[in-house]
Amino acid sequence: MKINLKTLSLLLILFYTSCSKESNKAPESIACFNINATDVEVGETVEISNCSVEATSYEFDFGNGITSNDANPNISYELPGEYTIILRITSPDGKVKSTSMVINVNPIDNNYIHPPLIDGDYILPTDFGIVDGKFYYIERYSNSISNELRNFNYVELDDSFNITKRHLHDRYYNSSHTSLRLLNNGKKIIHTVESMSDRIGSNEIWFDDEWTKENAAYSSSKPIYGSIQAGTNLVFFGSKSVTDEQNENFSYFRRPYLEIRDGLGQMKEFKVFNQIEQGFIGDLIEVDNNYIAFGGVSTPTGINTFTDYKPLVILLDSNFDFISFKTFETEIHITNFNNLNDSFHIKKLSNGNLVLYSHDEFRIINPEGEEQKMVSLSNVYHNQGIICLEEGGFILSTEDYLKKFDSNGNLLKSLRFNGKSTPQLIRKGNQLFFASGYLSKYSRGSEELSTYGIFIGSVNIDLKAINLN
């Protein structure tokens, strides 16, 4: 078949016109995304990769009240449940298209070890650590049904997290803080800080290397919050009451106080820091061959109340002699002695600064005691732990949350782990372990009553929960 030039020209014009129209047609916009997992745990990071086509803007709705306009956001969920992630995109011509995906978030509690409870149990941890390679916690125990005498127990955990309990002592007064000290001969000393109507005191209980109680002494005027190793000596810290005969309104004043003992726990000397009229030491740390103590000061107003509470640091030389002290303005509002039997922590950061933590807030200071930053966390339960990371930064517990900060005190990540009272965080490898008190319930007739139990949990240093079961 012959095609003349006129026909060929017409065909070419039609072909190029068709191609031109096709090339001018706008590509279709498509909303598209993928996630790294559709079944995750509370606190686990969900990574989103965007595969949308021809989008000028993005809006992700994660189904938990949080949205993001990032193209490839990450999200983690604080509470378990089923969530629908919705992506809405806007095309170049202003049209909105969407797509969605469902994700299941499993309860973090599935990862924990839960020691058994019986109805009426009220159990909170007051200390947590490792002895002879095994985890332990000290629990404050009572039962509202049996009305048994309130007491403290030492609970040892084997490699399978089975527990063995040893009775330590009965509890007569309010207390939330205990500390354990191992001696050179295998014996042990446990101190329990307790508050009464008009003062803070403590129990000191001695045990042999088989955990048989040898003796116990109670002091109504000398609370001991803990101890550190200093060379061959042990240094115990707290406060000591002294009589002020010139003051008719309040006859006992607390002075910050140290006891220097040998490796067998026998007293060598003590130091009372009379330069500070009303205060105590809750923790102590060595810094460049000197020492810094952390505690508080206040002004007594009655038999069980005070005002003007302020955090305190005391700078001491290598012999624990007084150099100077500093107090800090605070957002803490505590006004009675029951608030002073909880945890106080001073830890050294990888950059050489220190972090102080107690009662709703942490404070970063330099080695001279000068404040660098203060952050209020608004806790309700004050018996909380903190650990500094050699990689930099620190992790602390608050009510319901673990929080990770950098060395400057900036928040990096939070994990809702549902612990109310978590006195210590212990690192083993790249895992952090903790014993934490949690709110529990039991039924009595038609009533549903609240109480507390303990769980053992673990996360890695990036706050990813680890299953211990």
Q: What is the enclosing helix (H) or strand (E) of 460?
A: strand 447-460
Q: Which two tokens stand for residue 31?
A: 């909303």
Sequence-distant (≥ 6) Cβ neighbours of residue 179 within 8 angstroms? 127, 190, 191, 224, 225, 226, 227
Q: Which two tokens stand for residue 360?
A: 């709703």
pTM of structure: 0.86
Nearest to 295 by CA among 318, 271, 327, 324: 327
Q: Which residues sit opposite 248 in a β-bridge? A: none
- Kindly give the pairing relationship between strand 46-50 and strand 33-35: antiparallel
pLDDT digit string (tens) for 321-350? 999 999 999 887 887 788 888 899 999 999
pLDDT digit string (tens) for 286-317? 999 999 999 999 887 776 778 889 999 999 99
pLDDT digit string (tens) for 174-218? 888 999 999 999 999 999 999 886 778 899 999 999 999 999 999
**What was the pLDDT predicted at 1?**
52
**What was the pLDDT predicted at 21?**
52
288 dihedral zone (left: phi>0; alpha: psi -120 to 50; beta): left
Q: Where are the domains of the chain?
A: 33-106, 109-460
**What was the pLDDT predicted at 272?**
93
In CATH, what number does 109-460 get?
2.130.10.10
Are the C-beta atoms of 222 and 201 separated by less than 8 Å? Answer: yes
Q: How confident is the model at residue 15 (pLDDT cuts 50, 70, 90)?
A: low
Are the C-beta atoms of 252 and 241 separated by less than 8 Å? Answer: yes
Q: Which two tokens stand for residue 75?
A: 């999200």
**What was the pLDDT predicted at 450?**
84
pLDDT digit string (tens) for 160-171? 999 999 999 998
**What was the pLDDT predicted at 371?**
95
The domain defined by 33-106 folds into Immunoglobulin-like (2.60.40)
User: DSSP per residue over 376-442, as a string?
Assistant: E---S---B-EEE-TTSSEEEE-SSEEEEE-TTS-EEEEEE---SBB---EEETTEEEEEEEEEEEE
